[in-house]
Structure 1
């Protein structure tokens, strides 16, 4: 079942489990048997039908009234539904009755009838669809600690409804619950609405004897730091506070976790405990993320508010590198990120570290253009919490060959018939994947390895040699080295 509005009109469409009514090959299938809809809204009732072979359907209609035997009043001809009731059918055997601007008097049972070309070929689905039309009313329930407003109907609305509460024409709550509680002194006008249909407004004068205010509804703070979660509260003068408790709201059916002073070696209570209280938690961990609530006991009663407490989110720091893959010469941005905006420092200055040493202070770290010397391990910390730094993120810079050179082994005098090795060295990331050897004023030598070997060198090999180092980002030639082979 789904709800849809057009302007301020609520339309109820029915897609529930079908109800089949019939016998001997004759049947009517209603999509549902019961509907509860709001006064002033629009509803659609749908069905399909089957009948034996050999018949031809000539007439179909919905009805609620039977004037006489075999005298069924077509609903679209009923004066009570003039300009409000329409009937349509489709090629998929769907037969829909649409009623707009619903009235409470529309509450009744609706049935579908079809007539064939044969005298006894008539049928209607019984029972039909029972429609209940209700208006919205605000019911007020007052206790000695709160006032509860309930958006009331005479039947349970079909479909999933969202209830919107207005205080002096301003929205104060949107929820699937039809109730709204007031824990403060007020003398205001309230009304509720469901998908554009409003209840009459009521004036509420509420007197709260117990009252509690959390300083923050939400707090975001750093992992490893400390936090103060505080509230203030009032109660009747004749009461004396005997006990206060901070606790973590349990999930689903879990019991709340009481946080007594000293809990886990990290919890402390501050405040005068008669009108205000502060929960201090040190060495925060990400698993401390939860909703924290307060309750107190007096010499006459226990009091625990039902409204939300303070939601604490504990976040670590993380370095984000953009772009993730960096080539020398590009612009690179390093950002220190959190999972939420820090409550006590929404626009922090960050301390940046490279390989464990402070490099700069800034909101973000820009490297433009980035060079191979910028490669390393980066972390960040919020100014004022320099000891709470993020995990290190390695910045890898891709670049072509640099500092390409050739070395000769063994060094010193080279004699004929000895073994000599030339080695090409180059700094590159990724490493050089191709080497090319050259003899000056001559052709390139065979082979593409890092080393070039002369197993039995001769005087004809004397000359100047150099290499070319190459990877996907570039190539670079070395300076030449001279070899003088002695006979």
Structure 2
């Protein structure tokens, strides 16, 4: 706690102190010596100071303290200037390497000063003072401080545009604070050259800059107070740590700018036809384990107050083995015989994959991405898959089964028994047809649908004459239908008359003819014998007459004349009886055959 005491009372301070102590003692209080007021204080001549970089600035504090303490004259022996506090203790600037060789400080009488040479922008801050006296415990901290702003000349861009390969800019030389002194300005092409441009002495300037050129400004008379150079930017370059990039590799991209920038670097990414998007900032772009999803076009951008420049696009071409195979069938719905069918194999790969086709375990002689059936056939049905491969590996797709559907083929009909059916027996008709999907079967008799029969087999029990006829089998699926027919006949009279009966009649007729010939031979022999006896009674037995008699006898057997009616009456009756017997035998044979 500090007090300010009027100068006219200083000489009687001891007397005043004794009186105060006496009065307080009368009330029973004890007064400690440390309680006594002192004249401690300090005031800075300026609360803020603006200094140019490279110049020297002096901070001054007017301090106040008692002249004596217990009869001893008080003197200030040291001033401690600081800007930082550590563990509640001020940090002496003389111990800070940042200020090494650049400080001058002095405390003399009621004034403490601090001079800082070759000002830097890092010297900005609030400076405070603690002064130390020759009396034990005589340390006082000035509670207020002085704020130091350090400014450098900076080129401020009012307007900038690119005209062909040049940058045209309207500029101003700028400082962040205003030093007390009046300033003049100087424009320079090269900071190390002290000569100002003869045609640019004002605070504002207009210039044309080629890429890579720069300009600075300074406060005239202060060669160290020169602005950082402002460059007309050149396009940066992207450098990669790897030429061939494999999936899983680590990768670092560097944005190399040949001209300094004021706002650093940023990285942009573009995928496909999308717009550029900012993905990160900084001079480096790092991938710890690059993936196929990182395959894209990249660029880096540098920027300052005059504009920005973009690098040439850099493609991160990530190489990897095929993955995610997929086999697609077109059309996706049901495949019918004769359709065009296209198989397409796809896979994510870099470089692009080649393809090998398989049906079952057999390799197909095709290596393209597509495998096409112009007119697919049932024998093309089967399980297909493809293999995608490049120099980094291969992968196989899941199999796809192709099921070719087709109209039923011409049916085949089998009959049991296969020959004519006996009356009262059973017959089974079986129909079969190659079809996909499997065929349904329908039966017809004489083109009329057979009732209640839709299976592949038709059974007829107790076959009768009305079951004869032409039977049709129709094989159907939703693709179409085909018909076949079979003739079923009964084993009856009509069947005999056409086959077996004809054979019986032929056999019986043959037997009849043989019997007739035998009978005629016997009759001729008998008649010859009897004729010889009769002729012997009437005429001589000459050879000529005998021959004529035999002829007449034969003619008489075939067609008897009235001349011989009396002679052959008995014989004729006998012959007729024999003839009737032969005819009756032939009829009976025929009757038995007809059954």
TM-score by length of 2: 0.31
Using CA pairs under 8 Å that are at least 6 residues apart, name the structure with larger relative contact order, 1 or 2: 1
Q: Which has the higher helix share?
A: 2
